[in-house]
Amino acid sequence: MRVLSGIQPSGNLHIGNYFAMMKRMIQLQEDHTLFCFIVNYHALTTVVDAQYLKENTLGAAMDFMALGLDPDRCFFWAQADVPEVCELTWILSNQTSMGLLERAHSYKDKIAKGITPNAGLFNYPVLMAADILLYQAEAVPVGKDQKQHLEITRDIATRFNHHYGETFVLPEPWIDEHTAVIPGIDGQKMSKSYGNTLEIFAEEKELKKKVMRIVTDSTPLEDPKDPDKCNVFALISLFLDDKEKEELAQRYRAGGLGYGEVKKMLFARMWEYFAPYRKRRQELADNLDYVRQVLKKGADKARAEAVKTLQLVRDRVGLNY
Read off the pLDDT of residues 76-88 as tens digits, 9 standing for 90 and up. Answer: 999 999 999 999 9
Q: What is the pLDDT of residues 50-93, one digit of tens each?
A: 999 999 999 999 999 999 999 999 999 999 999 999 999 999 99
175 shares its domain with 30: yes
115 shares its domain with 235: no
Mean pLDDT of 109-121: 82
Question: Which amino acid type is present at position 258?
Answer: G
The DSSP symbol for 84 reads: H
242 shares its domain with 308: no
pLDDT of 146 strictly over 90 = no
pLDDT value for 175:
80
111 shares its domain with 231: no
23 shares its domain with 124: yes
19 shares its domain with 120: yes
pLDDT value for 178:
63
Name the residues annotated as catalytic.
110, 189, 192
Q: What is the pLDDT of residues 268-295, one digit of tens each?
A: 999 999 999 999 999 999 999 999 999 9
Which CATH number goes with the domain that contains 229?
1.10.240.10
- Domain containing 23 equals 2-181+287-317
226 shares its domain with 312: no
112 shares its domain with 142: yes
- Average per-residue pLDDT for the chain: 93
265 shares its domain with 291: no
pTM of the predicted model as reported, rounded to 2 decimal places: 0.87
In 47-170, at which residue ranges do the beta strands (DSSP E only) sit? 75-78, 139-141
pLDDT value for 90:
98
Contacts 24+ apart (CB under 8 A), 227-232: 227/252, 227/253, 230/259, 230/262, 231/183, 231/185, 231/187, 232/259, 232/262, 232/263, 232/266
Q: Domain total for the chain?
A: 2
Q: What is the pLDDT of residues 173-224, one digit of tens each?
A: 988 766 657 999 999 989 887 899 999 999 999 999 999 999 999 999 999 9
47 shares its domain with 154: yes
124 shares its domain with 256: no
Which CATH number goes with the domain that contains 84?
3.40.50.620
**Length of the chain counted residue by residue:** 321
Considering only 108-112, 161-165, 277-281, 310-314, which range has the smallest mean pLDDT?
108-112
